[in-house]
Copies of this chain bind each other. A is one copy, B any other.
Amino acid sequence: MANQLSRLDQVFAALADPTRRAIVMRLCAGEASVGELADPFDMALPSFMKHIHVLETSGLVLSEKSGRVRTCRLSPDALVGAEDWFQQQRAIWEARLDRFEAYVMKLKKERAAAKRPSRTTRKKGAE
């Protein structure tokens, strides 16, 4: 009975660590071996490998071993999946802003109507 973490959970958790974000950024520029990836970091290899593993199980990174060197590359799918999430939220958010703006416009119109009682039918109860 596994915990069944959702893919998004794993992707965001993976990206919450600066080391792992740096790895992803590095891999955006092209594939690399574990050693090359680890080089800039002041960290023991086993610790570093854990980060690689987290990235792999999140689906952000793929790797395969040939001979004694493991080569890693980015799998853009997971990255795009996460980006989509933001865009969906933004769409909802902006739809709401639009509705809000429309509401403000309606208020303005009503206030203008209240200020200038002549000419148009007077609304009752308007302050």
Contact = CB atoms under 8 A, between A and B. Distances in A.
Please state the number of chain copies in the assembly: 2
A6 interface: yes
Interface in A8-37: 8-10, 12-13, 15-18, 21, 24-25, 28-30
Contact of A76 (B8, B87, B93): B93
By size class, the interface of chain A is 20 to 34
Interface string A74-85: 101001101101
A18 B6 contact: yes
5 nearest A-B residue pairs (beta carbon)? A12-B16, A13-B16, A83-B86, A28-B92, A12-B15
A90 interface: yes
Interface of A: 6, 8-10, 12-13, 15-18, 21, 24-25, 28-30, 74, 76, 79-80, 82-83, 85-87, 89-90, 92-93, 96
Given A9-B18, A12-B16, A13-B13, A28 B96 contact: yes
A86 B89 contact: no
Contacts of A28: 89, 92-93, 96
A83 B79 contact: no
B90 A83 contact: yes
